[in-house]
Amino acid sequence: MFSEDTIISTITPVRGGSVCLLRVSGKDAINITCKYFKSNSLSNMEGGRFYFGKFVDDKNEVVDEVIIYVFKKPKSYTGEDVIEISCHSNIFILEEIINLYLNNNCRIAEPGEFTKRAFLNNKIDLVQAEAVADLIASKSKASVKNSLNLLEGKLSKLINSLKKNLIDVGSLLELELDFSEEDLEIISRDKFFDIMESSISIVNSLLDSYDSGRELQKGIEILIAGKPNVGKSSLMNSLLQKDRVIVSHIAGTTRDLIHEDIVMDDTLVRLIDTAGIRFTSDEIEAEGVTRAKKFLETASLILLMIDLSSEIDNDDLDILNSLVHKKSNSLIIVGNKSDKEANIKTEEYLSKLEIDKIKISAKEETNISELKRLIIRRIKRNEKDLSEDIILTNKRQYDVLNRLKKILNDNLKSFKSNQGFEFIAVDLRLAIETLSEITGEISTDDILNNIFSNFCIGK
């Protein structure tokens, strides 16, 4: 599971900045650097300090002026000797520096390999390692905060506390088995019941947080839906404050899903403009309609647009009836074209619906600010205060906790039905091993490789 190779990678983008950062980790990181960094010998320098000097090649020609930061094991991210090189962000400079290391038995780091080494060297556990990836991928400030909580070890501490309780109970049960002939009660039934109930409650709480956690992690998808020519593309352009989508009076102009990302109140929001939902003989438009209907099932929030200036028709009613019954909690009715004379029947029908609704004019950009505020309120409605709560965002952890929940519930049923303590003790050992999978105390090469292969290179 562990390689002693010395590895190197850029850990900042190669293009788009003036300075790039390279990280080198492994037993030869300092020795190779000393060969090319013209300053005092790094091997005799203190760790945790910056050093400025010229970086030269094998012919002693200057490659670049760089700043070197030295980490000496175990006081580094990976737990190994680590060198971080700040150089100018020029592809030729970077390529030459990297090649000098590769020519000295160094190799390019695999995706996530720095974090994998941190895990294998006991600098972090598996939950914290996964929190690193979540932190990089977070789509909102709330998600960033939650990832930092996980990286600080809040979930790990909870898991370890849960495991300690089960170990204590399991130890007492096995002790009671050893003294079964003495007719001694080592652990009371009430105490066992309370600990198991408490453990199940903690697991359920974590599992219940997963849906909101995943939504925080992936960001909010807002679907702009409605029949053709109702103003969906105009609304998207108004929300984005730019002409991203072609606007036309010809029905069916939008044939596919078009999306753009914007930040609303510290949350990354993906706006999705869909094909108008109606029956059509046009094959391309029909495919767009099919895709739009699929997104209706998964979108975090749906802005259903209705033309206030026209009488509500069967196309409107079909989609309204479907969404009001199935997706009322994630629906906002947007009455568009308020700049025109309103159709009385349409207004009367909409007024009877107990759904959040707002009147706008996408063309004149009337009430767009109010719509944004309504969207933000809906986004924040289901967000939890993350200052103390631990929110589960990781699918692997979720799956393991689901297995643990079943084991604990089965264990409690066995206890209530007065099964022998020897069977309950075996189930408790299985529960403890399952908890150890979450933090990585029990893991396999396949699990680790699968986790870290999804990291970005350089982390």
* Same-domain status, 302 and 340: yes
Amino acid (one-letter) located at 450: N
Q: What is the CATH number of the domain that holds 102?
A: 3.30.1360.120
Domain assignment of residue 229, yes or no: yes
Provide the pLDDT for residue 209: 87
Mean pLDDT of 173-182: 57
Q: Is the pLDDT of residue 145 over 90?
A: no
Q: Is the pLDDT of residue 364 over 90?
A: no
Share of the chain above pLDDT 90, in %: 30
Least confident window among 24-33, 268-277, 314-323? 268-277
DSSP conformation letters of 407-427: HHHHHHHHHHTT--HHHHHHH
Provide the pLDDT for residue 176: 59
Q: What is the CATH number of the domain that holds 198?
A: 1.20.120.430
Q: What are 78-100's pLDDT values in tens digits?
A: 999 999 999 999 999 999 999 99
* Same-domain status, 63 and 185: no
Domain assignment of residue 449, yes or no: no
Q: Is the dihedral of CA 31, 32, 33, 34 positive or negative?
A: positive
Q: Is the pLDDT of residue 253 over 70?
A: no
Provide the pLDDT for residue 250: 38
**Which phi and psi angles does 139 have, rounded to 5°?**
-110, 10
* Domain membership of residue 248 as a residue range: 218-381
Domain assignment of residue 1, yes or no: no
* Same-domain status, 342 and 302: yes
0.95 cut: is pTM over it?
no
* Same-domain status, 172 and 111: no
Amino acid (one-letter) located at 281: S
Q: Which residue has the tokens 């986004």?
A: 379
Higher-pLDDT residue of 47, 245 = 47
Domain assignment of residue 448, yes or no: no
Share of the chain above pLDDT 70, in %: 84
Domain assignment of residue 458, yes or no: no
DSSP conformation letters of 298-351: H-SEEEEEEETTS---HHHHHHHHHHHHHSGGGEEEEEE-TTSPPPHHHHHHHH
Provide the pLDDT for residue 249: 44
Higher-pLDDT residue of 286, 142 = 142
Provide the pLDDT for residue 158: 93
Q: Is the pLDDT of residue 232 over 70?
A: yes
Can you tell me the distance from the alpha carbon of 389 to that of 4, in angstroms, rounded to the nearest whole number? 39
Domain assignment of residue 398, yes or no: yes
Provide the pLDDT for residue 357: 87
Domain count, the chain: 3
* Same-domain status, 273 and 360: yes
Mean pLDDT of 295-310: 83
Domain assignment of residue 459, yes or no: no
Chain-centre distance of CA 348, in angstroms? 43
